[in-house]
Amino acid sequence: MAKKTLESRQDIEVLVARFYGRVRQDELIGPIFNDVARVHWDEHIPKIQNFWADLLLGENNYHGRPFPPHIPLGLKVEHFERWLELFFLTVDEMFEGQKADEVKMRALNIGRNFLANIQHLESRS
């Protein structure tokens, strides 16, 4: 597939769907989302698409807080590293340009924040 610039809601929808397709099949993090979390994918994917569209395109469709649902999953550093690896791989296969770089930087920052928050919660218990 030829790379294109990441610029539309449709681009984000395709990116998120392809990425979570990879996540679900991954040996390390797939079981977390498929078994432990028992994610309802038909509901989850549109929420995540809204989240990224808000961040990248300035839409206002995501409502909620992304961190709390991740608290009970028992996520560790290696899970965040794999999530980022798959996310970057998916972005780099499909897109190039400023928004592609931005989505990767935002994913990196989100992953770091989630991990720091989880480690903080663990240190308090």
pLDDT tens-digit series, residues 94-108 = 999 999 999 999 999
Total number of domains in the chain: 1
Helix (H, G, I), strand (E, B) or coil at 90: helix
Contact 32, 73 (CB under 8 A): yes
Which contacts (CB < 8 Å, 24+ apart) does range 74-80 have?
Answer: 74/32, 74/36, 75/32, 75/114, 75/115, 75/118, 77/115, 78/28, 79/28, 79/29, 79/32, 80/111, 80/114, 80/115
Gap between the Cα atoms of 33 and 26, Å rounded: 10
Structure tokens at 75: 């996520």
pTM, two decimal places: 0.89
Q: What is the span of the domain harbouring residue 9?
A: 4-124
Amino acid identity, position 58:
G
Least confident range from 21-25, 71-75, 96-100: namely: 71-75
CATH of the domain at 110: 1.10.490.10
